[in-house]
Amino acid sequence: MSEEPPRFRPLVIFEVLARHKVDYVLIGGLAATLAGSPLTTGDVDICPDRSFDNLVSLTAALRELRARVHAADSPRGIPFNFAPETLAHVEIWNLVTDGGRLDIAWVPAGTRGFPDLIREAVTYDVDGIAVRAASLADVIRSKEAAGRERDRAALPTLRLLLERLEDGGD
């Protein structure tokens, strides 16, 4: 009998991050969705502040979410004992949580990390939770720099949306 991965429930992740006061910017596909993109995604991507206090908060949130390291051959992930110092020393974490996939990138492609992304971040109310998301322009910049096939495929839609938003249209 094969294990099923946890169901994607981004609200669960947002609630836990908010409860632990984790300072982060939502990036990637979900940030684009909040900006109005019709494209779907199956994970939450964040770029947290790297301060020690925030690492402590993030560690507590990951423990509450029962975060595990994502592995292709283990749909529910591989257990790992997160510590603030450990989190800071790996540039990208691909995790599985009780709320589904959560990816942490300290310096997303095409950016200089949290201090860069927070400048143009937009705050959205997601079911009563304030979620700061990268601007659509920053999401596009990062996807262009990453150059992955799935990112290249999303770029025409995201550029068109940005053009419409800049023109004041819906």
Question: In this structure, is residue 29 part of a structural domain?
Answer: yes
Average pLDDT of the segment spanning 106-122: 98
pLDDT tier at 2, thresholds 50, 70, 90: low
Question: In this structure, is residue 32 part of a structural domain?
Answer: yes
Q: What pTM was estimated for this model as a whole?
A: 0.94
Question: In this structure, is residue 144 part of a structural domain?
Answer: yes
Q: How far apart are CA 100 and CA 113, in angstroms?
A: 23
Question: In this structure, is residue 2 part of a structural domain?
Answer: no
Question: In this structure, is residue 23 part of a structural domain?
Answer: yes
Question: In this structure, is residue 69 part of a structural domain?
Answer: yes
The domain tally of the chain equals 1
Question: In this structure, is residue 167 part of a structural domain?
Answer: no
Determine contact, residues 32/158, Cβ cutoff 8 Å.
yes
Question: In this structure, is residue 1 part of a structural domain?
Answer: no
CATH number of 75's domain: 3.30.460
pLDDT digits (tens, 9 = 90+) for 17-68: 999 999 999 999 999 999 999 999 999 999 999 999 999 999 999 999 999 9
Determine contact, residues 14/126, Cβ cutoff 8 Å.
yes
Higher pLDDT, 119 or 89: 119
pLDDT tier at 88, thresholds 50, 70, 90: confident
Domain containing 85 equals: 10-158
Question: Mean pLDDT over all residues of the chain?
Answer: 94
